[in-house]
Structure 1
Amino acid sequence: MTAAMTKKEFLRTLRAQRAQWEALVAYIDARDMLKPGPDGGWSVKDIIAHITWYERETVGMLRARALEGSDWWYLPLDERNQRIHEEVSRLPLDAVLDEADMVFADLLNEVEQLSEADLHDVTRFEGWPSDWVPWKAIASNSYEHYQQHLPDLLRWVKLEE
């Protein structure tokens, strides 16, 4: 990625990465999505809900054009992720999958409404740290997050083969 990311390029990347993510998720049997990870870690359902939490928070910040949302942002990453896991682990798979689709649609809609300048100028978002680049902040909570968890999903695909 270049610092000169265009809105068209960002949307293309976001859609392509999401399509790759969804194709991999679709390959995993629904029953297997509920099982703990191979190392006893998060299930596929947990990972999807985790990513959805970050995307939902990003949608809220984009809608408000401000740094707002959960107080969990102020926690250390591991503690935040643990709280997210505790919150979402009891949700049924269908609810997690439905919410993931709805939140992504909301995220896509919010990004489509941004201008080219919005993607690059942090001052257009109240309270965002001055060293943030908006498109990079959005990417880190969406398609870059998919990339971080692809190895987790690929373990499930390898288990099924």
Structure 2
Amino acid sequence: MTEQKSKVELLEMRRGLYTYFDALIAGLSEQQIQMPGVNGDWSVKDHIAHLTFWERLNLLEILKAIEQGTSWTDPGLESTEEVRDKTNQQVYLQNKDRSLADVLSEFQATHQQVMEYLEKLSEEELKTPYAWLGGYTIITWLSEPNGHYQEHEQYIRDWLAR
């Protein structure tokens, strides 16, 4: 097992992931961002809305629970691949007709909220294993290689390369 990152390293990593992803989408035109076909019917905008949904549902709720000294209850939307796929389809349908400005604004606000919570939590809170998080610490959980941002960034990069 690799050594856990520090809080400072976690914050730098999260800023870097966001900055890197934000730079990728900033280099695209509005038309490109809204064009379906990145994977299936999804556009880049749909990927952004998807990332925002999961960051809000999971990460923000987990960080709020830690700050409040309570447990996080998994809503079960990732319990099986079938449930996860159904949830992702519902999120897609709920967001596909939203304006790009609205989707980007929520993406940026969510990132800001995540960073504010991470900055408020102590190193000890970030390094405490939580049973309701499968025994993981927040630092370990968020340091997972090939995480969510990278997965969706790769979809976009593969689409751009075609």
List aligned pairs for 1:5-154, cutoff 5 A.
5-38=5-38, 40-57=40-57, 58-65=59-66, 66-68=71-73, 70=75, 72-74=77-79, 76-123=83-130, 128-139=132-143, 144-154=147-157
Contact (CA 8 Å) 1:60, 1:69: kept in 2 or not? no
| Deviation beyond 6 Å, 4+ runs, structure 1 | none
- How many Å apart are 1:121 and its aligned residue? 0.9
CA separation of 1:114/1:38 partners in 2, compared to 1, >3 Å: closer, same or farther?
Answer: closer
- Structure 2 segments unaligned to the other structure (5+ residues): none
TM-score (normalizing by structure 1): 0.82
- 1:44-84 Cα offsets, whole Å, 9 max, x none, are 00000000111112112211223147553446322222222
**Code of the aligned partner of 1:134:** I
Aligned residues: 154
- Structure 1 segments unaligned to the other structure (5+ residues): none
**Code of the aligned partner of 1:42:** W
TM-score (normalizing by structure 2): 0.82
Aligned-pair identity (%): 28
